[in-house]
Amino acid sequence: MSRIRKIYLDEKEIPKQWYNLAADIKTEPFMSPDGPVPPEAWAPVFPMNLVELEYSTQRWIDIPEGILEILSRWRPSPLYRAYDLEEALGTPAKIFYKNESLSPAGSHKPNTAVAQAWYNKQFGIKRMTTETGAGQWGSALAFACALLGLECKVFMVRVSFDQKPYRKLMMQTWGANCVASPSNETQAGRTILEKMPDTPGSLGIAISEAIEAAVTDKSGNTRYSLGSVLNHVMMHQTIIGLEAKKQLQKAGIKKPDVVIGCAGGGSNFAGLSFPFVYDKINGAEIEIIPVEPASCPTMTRAPYVYDHGDTAKMTPLVAMHSLGHSFIPPPIHAGGLRYHGMAPLVSKAVTEGLMNPLALHQLECYEAGILFAKTEGIIPAPETNHAIAAVINEANKAKEEGKEKVILFNFSGHGLMDLTGYDKYLSGQLTDYELPENIILENLEELKDYPKPPVGK
Amino acid sequence: MSRIRKIYLDEKEIPKQWYNLAADIKTEPFMSPDGPVPPEAWAPVFPMNLVELEYSTQRWIDIPEGILEILSRWRPSPLYRAYDLEEALGTPAKIFYKNESLSPAGSHKPNTAVAQAWYNKQFGIKRMTTETGAGQWGSALAFACALLGLECKVFMVRVSFDQKPYRKLMMQTWGANCVASPSNETQAGRTILEKMPDTPGSLGIAISEAIEAAVTDKSGNTRYSLGSVLNHVMMHQTIIGLEAKKQLQKAGIKKPDVVIGCAGGGSNFAGLSFPFVYDKINGAEIEIIPVEPASCPTMTRAPYVYDHGDTAKMTPLVAMHSLGHSFIPPPIHAGGLRYHGMAPLVSKAVTEGLMNPLALHQLECYEAGILFAKTEGIIPAPETNHAIAAVINEANKAKEEGKEKVILFNFSGHGLMDLTGYDKYLSGQLTDYELPENIILENLEELKDYPKPPVGK
C-alpha cells in the first residue's frame, strides 16, 4: 500500500470562511417592473440574514461556528485519487474527486441546507418550504431541518416523485412532508394541473409552489429555501473547493489543470470550481468545465437573458442563461439537472469566457457511471455521471496528447436512490434526446419584451 | 468546535492482521454422519485457501496486501462520538460508534466480501454464488466481484426481494445477477416452492440454493460464499474492532465499558466485539451485548445444539444456537437478522458467559433509529436499529446510575435501501410479534436425533 487513495483533513482544518465569487464577478441586479429589486423586497421570501449574504460582494465571509459544528458531522469530505479509473482508461492523467456522497443525505446539498436552516433558525423562522428535482436537495433540507428542529415542506417534481419513491421516504424519516408537484396545495400548482393534468412537472413549477406556500403563510414564521442558483447558495458550497485546494496541496499538487462538475442550477459545480475561478482570475491556467445534459442545454444553447427563476413568474427577473421559464425539459433521469436556467454567477462567468461548458447525452453518462462503479466501486448519482463522462473524455484526451494532466471533479452524490435509472439504462429502455432548435427558439419568444442584461465585462 | 466528532486513522494505520477468536475459544467440529468433517470435504463448496482460514486456530492472521489495497477504498472507517444522541438522552455516558455505513455498499459486509472474492480469485475461481437476506450481503459481494472481475449470482430471500427492489438494482448495477429465493433454478428451491408456493423465503432456503448452484456447476469454476456465521467471516470483520481500539486510544479512552452490535448471523457484532472479547478473556471488564430480534431469538431462547446451517440440510451439522433449520422467521423488516442459527464462535462465547445477549422488538428499534436519524443525522439500517435501541437502554441505565460509562457500538449500515420499513413504521403498519414458546419447541423436535455438542468450557 505505497499509494494513498484518500486525502483527509482534520475536522479542525474545515475552512472557516466561504469564498464569494460576487466580489470578483459582477452579476446583474434582480429586476422587477419597478427596476432593480432592493434587499428588503425579499423579506417575505427569505430571512434577512440570508438576503444580506445574497447581496454581499465581500470576498471572504466568516462561517458561523454553529454551522461549522453541524458540517463537522461529515466534513471535511475526503479527496480521492481515482487510481482504478485511471488504470482502466490507461491514461497518464491524475484524476482526483471530492467525495460529497458521504454526507448523511448522500450529496453535496447539505452544505447549503445546513447553512440556510441555521440562518433561518437564527432569524426566528419555524418552518421552511422548498422544491426538489431528483430529491437530493429536498432530502438535504429535510436532514438539516431535523437537526435544527424546524418544520420542512418539500414540493417534489412529479416525474422524480414517481421514479424515486425512496426519496420521499427519506424526507419523511427525517420528519419532513413531501408532496408531488404540481400539487393541489397551491394556486400555482392548481393552475398548471388544470392546463396540463399529465405534466411531469419541472423545477420551475415546484419553485413557484414552494414560494407561494411560504409567502402565503399568515403566521409569518415560514420562509422559502432554494437549493441552487442564488449567490448565497453558491457561496455555501465553496467549502468543497476550498477543502480540495488544501487536499491537493497535501498530495503535492500545485494546481489542477482541469476542474469539472455537473451543472443543473450550478451549485455543486460552483462549490468545487469557484475557488479555482478565483485563481484563474488571478492568472492561473485552469480549464473549468460545467457539464449539462444535452436535453436541457442552458449554457451551451440558450442565451444570457433576463428571465424568471420559476414558471409562475413569482421570482423577479434574474440575469442568466435560460431556455425560458415555461420550458419543461424531457424527463431524463438526472432530475437535478432539469432546470430551465443557470446560476447567475456561473452564467456570468461563462459569458466572460472563464468556463468551457459542455453538454452530454444521457447514454454516454450512464456508461461512464457504470465504469466508475466497477472500478472505483461507488455507484454515482445520474447527475454526477455527467461529470464523470466529461472526466473520461478529458482523460482520454490526455492519453492522446501524452500529457500528465491533473483532473479534479466533484463526485456530487451517490446513486443509491436513483437506481431505477440504471435499471432502465441496463435494460435498454433509455434513449438520447436532441432538443430541436425550433423548440428552443419558440420558448424564448416569451422573453422578447424583457430587459436585456449587458453581455461581457 | 472544541469537540471532535470523528476519529480517523490514516490509510497506513489499517490493521495488517485479523484477529481469530478460534485461537481463544474452542468451537466444536462440523459433523457429518461419518463424524467430524475434514477440511478437504469442503473443496466443492469453498476454495481451499478460505477453508484453511476457516479451520485455523492461529490467533493473528496476516491480511494479504491485495485485500488491504481494496479495503483502503473506504477503510479505516471513522469512529464517531455521538454527542447529539448523548445530549438528547441527557446521559453521562460517552457513546462511540464505528461508522461502517460509509462503505460503497453501505454496510460492514464488504470487509469479508472483498476478502472472500480475493481468495477465490487467487484460487482461480471465476464465479461466486451466495444468498442474501436484507440485501446488504448480496450487494457487498456484487461490489467485491465487480472490483475483482468475477461473476456473481445472488439468491435473495423473497420477502426482502419484494420489499427492497433497489437492492436488486444495486447488485445489477455492479454486474451481478440476483433472483428471488426460493427460485425455480435449483432443486432445493423447486422443492420448497412445491410445498409452500407463497413462502416469504428464509436465509436457510437461500443458502441451500446458493450452495447447490455452486456445487452443481460442472465447470468447477464456481464456489459458494457465505456472508456470516463461519469463523473466517468473523475473522475478516475483526478489522472493525481492531480499528476501534486504536481510535478509542486516540480519544484517550482506555477501554469501553459496554460493546454492542446487532446479531443475525453474527458477523458485524463479531467484527466489532471479538477484539474486545480477547481483552475480556485476558481480564478486562467489558460487557458485551449481541442484540437479536425478539421474533428470531436464537441466543436468548434457542438451545446450543448441532444443526444444519441451511434448510435443505446441504451443510454439515454446526454447533450453534439454533431454532431449527426449518424455522422460518416472521417477515420483520430487519431481514439481515432473520437467520435460524448463530455463528458458532458467538454461540460458544455466549455459552461460556462472555456475552450478554438481548432480544428486542421491532417497534422499539425503529423508534431508536428515528431518534438517531434526527440527532446524529444518519438513517440507520433496520438491523442497526437493534444495536441503537440497546445503546439507548444502556445510556439510560448510566443516567439512572449516574455513571460516565463508555458505550461502543457498531453502526453496521445505513437504511437508505430499507426505507419501506420506515414508511410502514411511521404509518403505523408494523406490530411487534412475540414468538410463542410452543412453536420454538415444536421446531426443535427436528433436532432430537442429532448429536449434542458439549456445553461450557
* CA atoms within a 13 Å half-sphere pointing along the CA-CB vector of B59: 5
Question: Would you call B69 an interface residue with chain A, using a CB distance cutoff of 8 Å?
Answer: yes
Cis previous bond, B197, omega within 30: no
Are A166 and B419 in contact (CB < 8 Å)? yes
Residue B456 has pLDDT above 70, yes or no: no
Query: Of B414, B419, B429, which to mutate for an interface test with A (greatest number of A Cβ within 10 Å)?
Result: B419
The percent of residues in chain A predicted with pLDDT above 70, rounded, is 99
Residue B322 has pLDDT above 60, yes or no: yes
Min Cα separation A394/chain B (Å): 23
pLDDT band for B398, please (50, 70, 90 cuts).
very high
Contacts of A249 by beta carbon, 8 Å cutoff, 6+ apart: none
Q: Is the dihedral of CA B292, B296, B300, B304 positive or negative?
A: negative
The total number of structural domains in chain A stands at 1
Question: Would you call A68 an interface residue with chain B, using a CB distance cutoff of 8 Å?
Answer: yes
The pLDDT, as a whole number, for residue A13 is: 96
Residue B13 has pLDDT above 80, yes or no: yes
Q: How far apart are CA B277 and CA B282, in angstroms?
A: 8
Contacts with B143 from chain A: Cβ below 8 Å: 377
H or E stretch at A306: strand A304-308
In-domain check, residue B178:
no
pLDDT band for A334, please (50, 70, 90 cuts).
confident
Cell of A367: 456508461
Q: Tell which residue, A23, A18, A17, has the closest CA to residue A348.
A: A23
Distances (CA, A) of B221 to A134, B45, B95, B117, B439: 42, 11, 46, 13, 41
Q: How far apart are CA A422 and CA B174, in angstroms?
A: 10
Are the CB atoms for A447 and A318 separated by under 8 Å? Answer: no
Q: Which residues does residue A151 pair with via DSSP β-bridges, in sequence order? A: A127
What is the tens place of the pLDDT at every residue in B138-154?
999 999 999 999 999 99
Residue A70 has pLDDT above 60, yes or no: yes
In-domain check, residue A416:
yes
* Domain that residue B419 falls in: 7-12+64-105+231-447
pLDDT band for B179, please (50, 70, 90 cuts).
very high
Residue B185 has pLDDT above 70, yes or no: yes
The pLDDT, as a whole number, for residue B163 is: 82
Residue A457 has pLDDT above 70, yes or no: no
The pLDDT, as a whole number, for residue A203 is: 83
| Phi, psi of A132, rounded to the nearest 5 degrees | -150, 145
pLDDT band for B329, please (50, 70, 90 cuts).
confident
Contacts of A37 by beta carbon, 8 Å cutoff, 6+ apart: A29, A30, A31, A316
Are B173 and A1 in contact (CB < 8 Å)? no
In-domain check, residue B44:
no
Are B174 and A4 in contact (CB < 8 Å)? no
Question: Would you call A73 an interface residue with chain B, using a CB distance cutoff of 8 Å?
Answer: yes
Q: How far apart are CA A174 and CA A127, in angstroms?
A: 14
Question: Would you call A175 an interface residue with chain B, using a CB distance cutoff of 8 Å?
Answer: yes
Segment A52-79 mean pLDDT: 97
Are A169 and B72 in contact (CB < 8 Å)? no
The pLDDT, as a whole number, for residue B334 is: 73
In-domain check, residue A52:
no
Segment B71-94 mean pLDDT: 98
In-domain check, residue A281:
yes
Query: Of A411, A419, A426, which to mutate for an interface test with B (greatest number of B Cβ within 10 Å)?
Result: A419
Cis previous bond, B76, omega within 30: yes
Q: Tell which residue, B78, B384, B131, has the closest CA to residue A6.
A: B78
pLDDT band for A234, please (50, 70, 90 cuts).
very high
Q: How far apart are CA A398 and CA A93, in angstroms?
A: 6
Segment B3-10 mean pLDDT: 94
The percent of residues in chain A predicted with pLDDT above 90, rounded, is 91
Single-letter amino acid code for the residue at A54: E
Give the helix ranges, DSSP H, for B7-46: none
In-domain check, residue A331:
yes
The pLDDT, as a whole number, for residue A434 is: 87
CATH of the domain at B330: 3.40.50.1100
Are the CB atoms for B97 and B384 separated by under 8 Å? Answer: no
Are B173 and A422 in contact (CB < 8 Å)? yes
The pLDDT, as a whole number, for residue B1 is: 52
Query: What is the ipTM, given to two decimal places?
Result: 0.95
| Phi, psi of A224, rounded to the nearest 5 degrees | -95, 155
Are A172 and B422 in contact (CB < 8 Å)? yes
The pLDDT, as a whole number, for residue B159 is: 87
Q: What is the CA radius of gyration of chain A?
A: 20
Residue A1 has pLDDT above 70, yes or no: no
Q: How far apart are CA B45 and CA B215, in angstroms?
A: 6
In-domain check, residue B399:
yes
Query: Of B2, B103, B376, B379, which to mutate for an interface test with A (greatest number of A Cβ within 10 Å)?
Result: B379
Residue B243 has pLDDT above 80, yes or no: yes
Residue-by-residue DSSP string for A117-150: HHHHHHTT--EEEEEESSSHHHHHHHHHHHHHT-
Q: Is the dihedral of CA A33, A37, A41, A43 positive or negative?
A: positive
Question: Would you call A88 an interface residue with chain B, using a CB distance cutoff of 8 Å?
Answer: no
Residue B261 has pLDDT above 60, yes or no: yes
In-domain check, residue B432:
yes
Residue B331 has pLDDT above 80, yes or no: no
Of A1, A10, A377, the CB nearest to B143: A377
Query: Of B72, B83, B166, which to mutate for an interface test with A (greatest number of A Cβ within 10 Å)?
Result: B166
Contacts with A376 from chain B: Cβ below 8 Å: 73
Residue A95 has pLDDT above 80, yes or no: yes
What is the tens place of the pLDDT at every residue in B400-439?
999 999 999 999 999 999 898 999 999 999 999 889 999 9
Chain centroid to CA A241: 14
* pTM confidence score: 0.96
Are B73 and A173 in contact (CB < 8 Å)? no
- What is the edge-to-edge ordering of all strands in the sheet holding A317-321? A35-36, A31-32, A317-321, A304-308
The pLDDT, as a whole number, for residue B96 is: 98
Chain centroid to CA B44: 24
Segment B168-180 mean pLDDT: 97
Q: How far apart are CA A379 and CA A176, in angstroms?
A: 26
The percent of residues in chain B predicted with pLDDT above 70, rounded, is 99
